[in-house]
Amino acid sequence: MSTPILEVKGLKKYFPIYNGIFRHQTGAVLAVDGIDFSIPQGKVLGMVGESGCGKSTAARAAIRLIEPTEGSIHFMGRSLLDMNSKELKALRKDIQMVFQDPYASLNPRKTIFESIGEALLYHGIVSNRDEQYEHVTAVLHKVGLSSDTINRYPHEFSGGQQQRICIGRAIALKPKLIVCDEAVSALDVSIQAQILNLLMDLKESLNLSYLFISHNLAVIRHIADEVVVLYAGKIVESQETEKLFENPQHTYTKALLASVPQLR
């Protein structure tokens, strides 16, 4: 068996609660309380749960965007927690993230060219403006936008197009893992379908792995190979997608599946 792209063991993230006039710590919010998961190469791990169950915190702690309280993280066999900030910055190009609200995650004062191209220069993938331009055009083409949009600003695009730009920014660096935090939740169903298809196509063509967070179980079933169900900071069930949906074991998973409104 090959090494998984991301392997997380015993991950914990506690947020301290301060109280009293001296602001001493009186307790902690157990946002993520000891979870284990691993994402095999080229697979999609779905993460489901209700709002406030720690999905986003878990994902962010798992790629060390926030410092975890405890646990071990291995990205392609290398320990993420033992890296210094320089190594970590170099590694950032292999792990990218797409967020829920595309408009909020694009800088309104930067053109699409600047938004997508900035990281290319920073990580030394391109060395001059011509190469940068060429690269960004290719990326736009991959996410299904025409190249004459390159000098436009985010507000000139619709929500679906903005999300395409965010995905373009993520894949521009040729990452190995993309964390999608509710990436399709803010979109209308017809646009959501376009974006889901795009993500699946890119996964095949670029051999990507995804950590896909969503509260929409139908979306998870469509895209994920394996699913972990989070409840109050803990994983209550971890299973292959088909098995989980056909035969849920944990009471919470059953309740979650039963509450989804059925089409017929």
Binding residues for other proteins, rule: CB under 8 A, are 50-51, 158-161, 188-194, 196-197, 200, 215, 217-219, 221-223, 241-242, 245, 255-264
Nearer to other proteins, 49 or 71 (CB): 49
In the complex, the smallest distance separating the C-beta of residue 164 from other proteins, rounded to whole angstroms, is 11
Nearer to other proteins, 132 or 161 (CB): 161
- The residue type found at 57 is T
What is the crossing angle of helices 159-171 and 189-206, to 10°? 10
In the complex, the smallest distance separating the C-beta of residue 196 from other proteins, rounded to whole angstroms, is 6
- Asked if 228 contacts 53 with a C-beta cutoff of 8 angstroms, the reply is no
The DSSP 8-state label assigned to residue 22 in this structure reads T
Rounded distance between C-alpha atoms, residue 197 and residue 204, angstroms: 11
Nearer to other proteins, 80 or 165 (CB): 165
Binning the chain into helix, strand and coil, the percentages to the nearest 5 are: 40, 25, 35
Angle in degrees, CA 210, 211, 213, rounded to 5: 125
In the complex, the smallest distance separating the C-beta of residue 50 from other proteins, rounded to whole angstroms, is 4
Nearer to other proteins, 75 or 231 (CB): 231
Nearer to other proteins, 138 or 255 (CB): 255
Task: Please count the other Cβ atoms lying within 10 Å of the Cβ belonging to residue 184.
Answer: 24
What is the crossing angle of helices 159-171 and 129-142, to 10°? 120
Nearer to other proteins, 50 or 82 (CB): 50
In the complex, the smallest distance separating the C-beta of residue 134 from other proteins, rounded to whole angstroms, is 27
Contacts 24+ apart (CB under 8 A), 103-107: 103/154, 103/155, 103/159, 103/162, 105/166, 106/154, 106/162, 106/165, 106/166, 107/154
In the complex, the smallest distance separating the C-beta of residue 234 from other proteins, rounded to whole angstroms, is 17
Q: How many residues does the chain have?
A: 264
In the complex, the smallest distance separating the C-beta of residue 195 from other proteins, rounded to whole angstroms, is 9
In the complex, the smallest distance separating the C-beta of residue 173 from other proteins, rounded to whole angstroms, is 26
Nearer to other proteins, 50 or 134 (CB): 50
> How large is the C-alpha radius of gyration of the chain?
19
Mapped onto helix, strand or coil, the DSSP state of residue 195 is helix
